[in-house]
């Protein structure tokens, strides 16, 4: 087992990794920017090293500073969390060259799955269905030809992208040149490359993802699916497991396809295979996140497994934690991402939290690094907390989430709590009748979205 682990992240995920390490009796090293000097992950780690000023590029994305912090503290491994350097093949490679264990997949696997175009081609070879799409396209003329072959509507997508950036929906040939250039520019600004491709666009999709664990001994298992369909601007707001759209036969069939493909590429650590579901419940490979997900607690609640602990154990040479292809899912879990945002406009709301009261009780979990008098800085993601509930069935989980949201008190800044309260109360959500346009449909129909969902 590792004698010391450095956590190359901040906020609730850094604190989450510290909790897992404490239960494994592994000392930890926190890194922090000047803006995070008084953060809880700094307080609860065994050691802490300042790695730069507030800007991410100068701190949490500064590979040299992070490696130096690991070397001067004697850390043997680095856990990247999610975001920042978690899916950087370069960072994983530098860790390896520095005799540090990167707690995640091998650099070449991260590189393969991080290039969406290569990943789609490889997964198609290995038996996973993919949406019709093109190779990387560099010209408007090429995009027009490909879109004509695929059929409108299409989506222009960043080849190295994620998080909704570098993505544009195109309904007709007239729209394509402008949106193609916009996607290219956004991709270059966000990911350092303007590479984009064209893919068939599903009009009313649902977003389903399979959680996997793979060890260094060739075993891969899946831990069921999560439904992540409730989104705004391609970023998830609500996640749940299991999905109302996946029956046991589908879970077993798709799970086996996922396992087979990931065994072929030699996948290790935790990861998530993301799929789109069309109106006929056909599933198509979208991408793979080669890291722990924000929504991993949903799976932990329905399986009873600690995914972060198993990431660490696998990186140290351990085995996946159970026999067989998958594990039984118990009850139903829902996660709401509570963000520092205006609930009407979704504009960020940085500032000092003056009052902070977490809900509790049976089946309620809060993953957060916030506290009263803590400051939400303007430099990073707006996530404050992940509110997760578990119930014997979906309706109990919805009711439990509704009362937990009511008891979650955060003052001093605006939060997305009112959005989540409206979602939980919405009859379409309760009936499982929604797609990724759930929040935007009302505005398109001329109805004020805040009246139905956001107000």
129-147: per-residue pLDDT in tens?
Answer: 998 899 999 999 999 999 9
**Which segments of the chain belong to CATH 3.30.1490.20?**
132-200
pLDDT for residue 165: 84
**Which segments of the chain belong to CATH 3.40.50.20?**
5-103
pLDDT for residue 163: 66
Please give the class, per CATH, of domain 5-103: alpha beta
- Confirm whether pTM is higher than 0.85: yes
At the second CATH level, the architecture of 132-200 is 2-Layer Sandwich (3.30)
Q: Which residues are catalytic?
A: 291
**Which segments of the chain belong to CATH 3.30.470.20?**
206-454
pLDDT tens digits, one per residue of 400-426: 999 999 999 999 999 999 999 999 999
What the block records as the tokens of 138 is 């560099």
Kindly report each contact of residues 67-73 with a partner whose C-beta sits within 8 Å and lies 24 or more positions away, as own/partner: 67/94, 67/95, 67/98, 67/100, 69/6, 69/29, 69/31, 70/6, 70/29, 70/98, 70/100, 71/98, 73/4, 73/6, 73/29, 73/47, 73/49
| Residue 324 predicted with pLDDT over 90 | no
| CATH code of the region 206-454 | 3.30.470.20
- From CA 19, how far away is CA 126, in angstroms rounded? 37
């Amino acid at each position: 087992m590792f004698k010391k682990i450095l956590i190359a992240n901040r906020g609730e995920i850094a604190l989450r990794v510290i909790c897992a390490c404490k239960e494994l009796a592994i000392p930890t090293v926190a890194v922090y920017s000047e803006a995070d000097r008084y953060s809880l992950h700094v307080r609860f780690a065994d050691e802490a090293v300042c790695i730069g000023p507030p800007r991410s590029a100068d701190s949490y994305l500064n590979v040299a500073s992070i490696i130096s912090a690991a070397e001067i503290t004697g850390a043997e491994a680095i856990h990247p969390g999610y975001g920042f350097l978690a899916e950087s093949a370069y960072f994983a490679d530098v860790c390896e060259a520095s005799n540090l264990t990167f707690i995640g997949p091998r650099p070449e696997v991260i590189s393969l799955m991080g290039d969406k175009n290569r990943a789609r081609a490889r997964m198609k070879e290995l038996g996973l269905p993919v949406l019709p799409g093109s190779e990387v396209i560099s010209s408007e003329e090429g995009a027009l030809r490909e879109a004509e072959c695929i059929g409108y509507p299409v989506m222009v997508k960043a080849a190295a992208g994620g998080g909704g950036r570098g993505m544009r929906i195109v309904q007709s040939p007239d729209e394509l040149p402008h949106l193609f250039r916009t996607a290219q520019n956004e991709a270059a600004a966000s990911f350092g490359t303007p590479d984009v491709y064209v893919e068939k666009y599903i009009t009313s999709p649902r977003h389903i993802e399979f959680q996997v664990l793979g060890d260094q001994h060739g075993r891969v298992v899946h831990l069921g699916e999560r439904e992540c369909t409730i989104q705004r601007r391609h970023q998830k707001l609500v996640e749940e497991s299991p999905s109302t759209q996946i029956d046991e036969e589908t879970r077993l069939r798709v799970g086996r396809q996922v396992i087979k493909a990931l065994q072929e590429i030699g996948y290790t650590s935790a990861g998530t295979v993301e799929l789109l579901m069309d109106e006929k419940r056909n599933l198509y490979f979208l991408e793979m996140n080669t890291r722990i997900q924000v929504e991993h607690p949903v799976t932990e609640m329905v399986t009873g497994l600690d995914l972060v602990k198993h990431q660490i154990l696998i990186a140290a040479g351990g085995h996946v934690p159970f026999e067989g292809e998958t594990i039984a899912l118990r009850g139903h879990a829902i996660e709401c991402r509570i963000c520092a945002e205006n609930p009407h406009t979704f504009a960020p709301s940085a500032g000092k939290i003056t009052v902070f009261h977490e809900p509790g009780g049976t089946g309620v979990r809060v993953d957060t690094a916030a506290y009263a008098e803590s400051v939400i800085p303007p430099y990073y993601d707006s996530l404050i907390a992940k509110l997760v509930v578990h119930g014997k069935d979906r309706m109990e989980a919805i009711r439990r989430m509704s009362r937990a949201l009511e008891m979650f008190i955060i003052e001093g800044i605006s939060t997305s709590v009112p959005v989540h309260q409206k979602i939980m109360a919405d009859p379409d959500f309760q009936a499982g009748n929604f797609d990724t346009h759930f929040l935007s449909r009302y505005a398109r129909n001329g109805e004020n979205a805040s009246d139905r969902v956001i107000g």
